[in-house]
Structure 1
């Protein structure tokens, strides 16, 4: 299991929006893109997907931009991945049934168990918690360079 570039960019954009959630003002695409080093046009597509998925809202006008649709402590990483990847992360697309050997059956069971554990962790973490972890790491990094 790997985090796709698309999902990583989406999470980074949402973390930027979560960081500015308290001030209540929307962020423009170019601000988010500059802060997180994401290509503008790609970010625009991701934000449109997340808007349709109910994760962000947009505001038009000169002071327009994007903001979180809900509080950062109510949006899980699992929700973001599900929205961005366009499928339910819990289930994989089943391949046509092949004759099942004991080896294949056991391997499938192990893979399903691993996916369940990964999904439970992704459901546990919210944007707010990831922001807190990031801030803690930044404080530690500053301490090492003094």
Structure 2
């Protein structure tokens, strides 16, 4: 499972906003995006640079420049975005019994339940694409 924080949420919000304009091919600047998603422009610009480097969006410089998705919203899933800013967690990180139990000897009593939750979360992140958000405000 991926743990994600503010930067991952910002990137997801920014790309969901870009997904709304994919069909129009309109590039949007980080200032416009930040205003639309109500987050600081500096944070938006930072995450867009990371997402651009990963190839999920394209950036164009200049007065008519901005960012747009590099592929269709249906081809970009939430997992691809949040994994850029999150970190993979092993079982010890999610075990309520602490690192001294799970993975050392027998699994703790929560192990199977936690693993199912992690698997379900990963599956949901991988199966949810930006087109699910493109038509929503």
TM-score, length basis structure 2: 0.81
In 1, distance between residues paired with 2:70 and 2:115?
Answer: 32
Q: Which of 97, 109, 113 is the equivalent residue of 2:112?
A: 109
User: Could you say which structure has the higher helix fraction?
Assistant: 1
Question: In the alignment, what sits opposite 1:12?
Answer: 13
Q: Secondary structure at the match of 2:110?
A: helix
User: How does the TM-score come out when normalised to structure 1?
Assistant: 0.77
d(CA) in 1 for partners of 2:109 and 2:33? 45
Match of 2:90 among 92, 95, 105: 92
Deviation for aligned residue 1:23? 1.3
Deviation at 1:54, TM superposition (A): 1.5
Deviation at 1:57, TM superposition (A): 1.1
Contact 2:18 2:69 in 1 (8 A): yes
Stretch moving more, 106-115 or 117-126: 106-115
2:121 aligned with 1:125:
no
Tell me what 1:41 maps to: 42
Ranked by relative contact order (alpha carbons within 8 Å, sequence separation 6 or more), the top structure is 2
| Offset, 1:25 | 2.1
* Residue ranges of structure 2 left out of the alignment (5+ in a row): 94-98
Corresponding residue of 2:96: none
Secondary structure in 1 matching 2:108: helix
Cα deviation digits, residues 26-77 of structure 1 (max 9, x gap): 1011100111111011111100111112211111111111111111110001
May I ask how many residue pairs the two structures share in their alignment? 130
Q: Alpha carbon RMSD of aligned pairs, Å? A: 2.5
